[in-house]
Amino acid sequence: FDHGNLQAFLSQHFDVELTPASGADDAQRLLDTGTFDLVLVNRVFDRDGGDGIELIRQIKSNADSAKVAVMLLSNYSQYQEEAIAAGALPGFGKAELSAESSISAVRSALA
């Protein structure tokens, strides 16, 4: 569900390719083997219930992936603040996918 909504949102506004990860280990493996301009992280992973904030910390503590832009997908401001403290850019919630502020945030992250 989230992947489809994100794909629709991103495809409508940007010329990008979305690569889903099944959890933190898969995300780090993808980052270690590929090139990405932006990582969008759910606060809670759909498949295994993993912690998105912890993944952000992991990405930002790894010398190879630390420079990749990361944003948290969450409607809750306290989790956005926690993600920013962990090194993420200001993100947005799934309820805000069509908001101009979300489009601008992604545009800035990709610039």
| Nearest C-alpha neighbor of 40 from the set 85, 97, 101, 98 | 97
Cα–Cα distance measured from residue 29 to residue 19, given in angstroms and rounded to the nearest whole number: 12
pLDDT tens-digit series, residues 41-62: 999 887 778 899 999 999 999 9
pLDDT of residue 75: 92
Could you tell me where the beta strands, DSSP code E, fall in 1-111? 38-42, 69-73, 89-92
- Asked whether the CA dihedral 34, 19, 84, 14 is positive or negative, the reply is positive
Q: Show the CA angle centred on residue 81, arms to residues 21 and 98, nearest 5°.
A: 60
pLDDT of residue 1: 55
Total-model pTM: 0.91
